[in-house]
Structure 1
Amino acid sequence: MEASNETLRGRRIVFVCGEDEYESERTMPLLAEEAKKYGAWTTVLQAAPDPASPASIPGLEALRTADLAVFYIRFRQLPEEQFRHIRDYLASGKPVVGLRTSTHAFQYPQDHPLAEWNDGFGIDVLGAPWIRHFGHSSSTSVSVAWGAERHPILRGVPTHFECRSWLYQVLPYPPEGAQILLNGATVNPEDNGWSYTSETPRVQPVAWTRTRAGGGRVFTTTMGHPEDFELSAFRRLLINGMHWALGLERSIPEQDPLKQEIEGGEQR
């Protein structure tokens, strides 16, 4: 039986991007186009007037009708009238996918009413705070975590691949209850002014799932460098993660149907 390409048909996915380090204003629209091929309705929201502007992401009211929110944001200081759409979405118990810098999504002044979200979004929503990384010139060797081999998010994802993202330290998170899917080993780490000890191991989780207190499913990855999106393994991981977050893991094919179409066309 031929696999269906429209496993996300009718699902509304809102991509929220706002950071000025990893070109999410370019990569998130590409990911949205990939999701459209599976039948999803997509909306991409971007910081205004440019990615470096921390105080505005217009259109967040789109979260009211979203089935899934995908976040790629960093150090935002959104006004209450915009932030409340994110807070209301989270309170609804709907699913979340978070990429890389979203572990440190907000950076409000300490006396600001929303300052609790500076660490709270990373810890309470995604399952990991911002701690540090292993240096911009390093990269990461990614492998499937022990015991996660049969997780539906990893269907069609190779057991090992290399990515450009420099490794984030996320220990002691993810907290109890998270399932680690992929681990990353730092390659050629920089000194960065600290010593790597048993408290800062060179292997860290790079993808995991969890369930928030409100019941919503969460898929988080600390990968997301622009060059990562050139990897079919990474794109497949994200598409699978969106399926899983929406409760559609049974619809994730063993092989990528879009890739099969391309290969079939080449063979003909």
Structure 2
Amino acid sequence: MKKKMSGLIQFCLFLTIIATANPALSQSKSKKPLIVFVTGDHEYSSEATMPLLAKELEQNYGMRVKVLKSSPDQNAEENIPGLEALKDADMAVFYLRWRRLPADQVKYIDDYLKSGKPLMGFRTSTHSFNYPKGHPLEKWNAFGEFALGSPPGWGGKAEHTHCGHDCSTDVTVIPEAAKHPILKGVSQNFHVRSWLYKVVPDYPAKGATSLLMGKAVNPNKEGFADNPVAWTWKTQWGAKVFATTMGHPEDFKEESFQRLVINAIHWTLDKPVPDTWKGKVAINVPYRGM
């Protein structure tokens, strides 16, 4: 009995020595990536869709998640508590619209971008900020351009606009991108409620890889061109990016859109895109409108 106990003690001591000698290896194998969702939009209910997406990632895909929201509600443009969580994030997901955050909060986002860690942006994140002319943080109005490879804010020289609220979008896989890992299991053709955003001819930015093309259905404007609705890119700080101009709450009911997003999160984290789809997620969030 004593010999057995002695052997067990020696074995436990051996494991302790190994873990102590290489703690980074031990931690890297066990640590789940932390995804921080930063939400705050007046229109698309991101404060409701993003937690459901986060829950799915946590329960079925081995992620840790934290969802930040504008306070006291989605219309509060000057406060998103908890942005210090970005210091520990392995990935940031942005769904913002025309915020005017104070400098101390923007500093957390700035530090995150400069870290070169991966990020994702949904729809109105192309125009995440809306500081008045001459404001010390006015350059952040171009967040979409330097963070996502999209037009630098709404309107402007890029004429970033959409096809009208009566419009919706037919989405097709771009043939040259068909074998991209993000498109694994995504239908060649599907439809979303999002009215198509104009990003061409100058965006997505140089170096981007467009994955999906959108065609306006019932546009309110004549001659509205086809536009990319999802692409990958790399920032000046070396961060892998996935950006999409889709993100209407009804889009999240579409299984191909769900799979696109979950695939993209894995890809930007340098994790293998799942071979096994865990199944459609129940995301039934109404469109709020303005």
TM-score bracket for this pair, using the shorter chain length:
0.7 to 0.9
- State percent identity of aligned pairs: 52
Aligned mate of 1:110, from 105, 113, 133: 133
Q: Which of 19, 32, 43 in structure 2 is aligned with 1:10?
A: 32
Paired residue for 2:279, among 256, 259, 265? 259
Does residue 1:144 correspond to 2:173, yes or no? Answer: yes
Distance (whole Å) between structure 1 residues aligned to residue 110 and residue 90 of structure 2:
15
The CA distance in 2 between the partners of 1:259 and 1:28, in whole Å, is: 17
Partners of 2:130 and 2:250 in 1: CA distance: 26
The residue number in structure 2 matching 1:202 is: 225
Contact 1:181–1:208, Cα closer than 8 Å, also in 2: yes
In 1, the alpha carbon distance for the partners of 2:144 and 2:261 equals 18
Q: CA RMSD in A?
A: 1.6
Structure 2 unaligned spans of 5+: 1-29, 155-159, 281-290
Contact 2:263–2:274 (Cα < 8 Å) also in 1: no
Question: Aligned-pair distance for 1:125?
Answer: 1.0
Match of 1:35 among 57, 61, 75: 57
Once the two structures are superposed, what CA deviation does each residue of 1:166-191 show, in whole Å capped at 9, x if it has no partner? 00001120122000000000000013
Contact conserved, 2:169 with 2:196, CA < 8 A, in 1? yes
> Is 1:101 aligned to 2:124, yes or no?
yes
Give me the whole-angstrom Cα distance separating, in 2, the residues matched to 1:238 and 1:58. Answer: 25
Where 2:53 maps in the other structure, the secondary structure is helix
The correspondence for 1:174, drawn from 195, 201, 204, is 204
Contact 2:182 2:267 in 1 (8 A): yes
Does structure 2 conserve the Cα–Cα contact (< 8 Å) formed by 1:155 and 1:255?
A: no
The Cα shift of 1:253 comes to 2.9
Cα deviation, 1:89-141, whole Å, max 9, x if unaligned, reads: 0010101100000000000011111101102x111111112310000111000
1:219 aligns with 2:242: yes
Give CA-to-partner distance per residue, 1:132-160, whole Å, 9 cap, x none: 00001110000001200000000011111
Structure 2: how far apart are the matches of 1:226 and 1:175? 26
Aligned partners of 2:140, 2:249: CA distance in 1, in Å?
26
User: 2:193 matched to 1:164?
Assistant: yes
Higher share of residues assigned helix: 2
Aligned partners of 1:107, 1:238: CA distance in 2, in Å?
A: 26
Using the size of structure 2 for normalisation, the TM-score is 0.81
Moved over 4 A (4+): none
Contact 2:33 2:64 in 1 (8 A): yes
One-letter amino acid of the counterpart of residue 189, structure 1 = P
Give the equivalent residue in structure 1 for 2:184.
Answer: 155
Shift of 1:255: 4.1
Cα distance between partner residues in 1 of 2:227 and 2:36: 28
Given that 2:199 and 2:227 are in contact with CA atoms closer than 8 Å, whether structure 1 keeps it comes out as yes
Amino acid at match of 2:171: V
Contact 1:9–1:40 under 8 Å retained in 2: no
Q: CA deviation at 1:45?
A: 0.2
1:9 deviates by 6.6
Residue number in structure 2 paired with 1:241: 264
Shift of 1:252: 1.3
Q: Which position in structure 2 is the counterpart of 1:3?
A: none
- Number of equivalenced pairs: 243
| Cα separation, 2, equivalents of 1:9 and 1:203 | 42
Stretches of structure 1 lacking an aligned partner (at least 5 in a row): 1-7, 261-268
| Equivalent-residue separation in structure 2 for 1:65 and 1:253 (angstroms) | 24
Give yes or no for contact 2:83–2:108 (8 Å, CA) kept in 1.
Answer: yes
Given that 1:75 and 1:107 are in contact with CA atoms closer than 8 Å, whether structure 2 keeps it comes out as yes
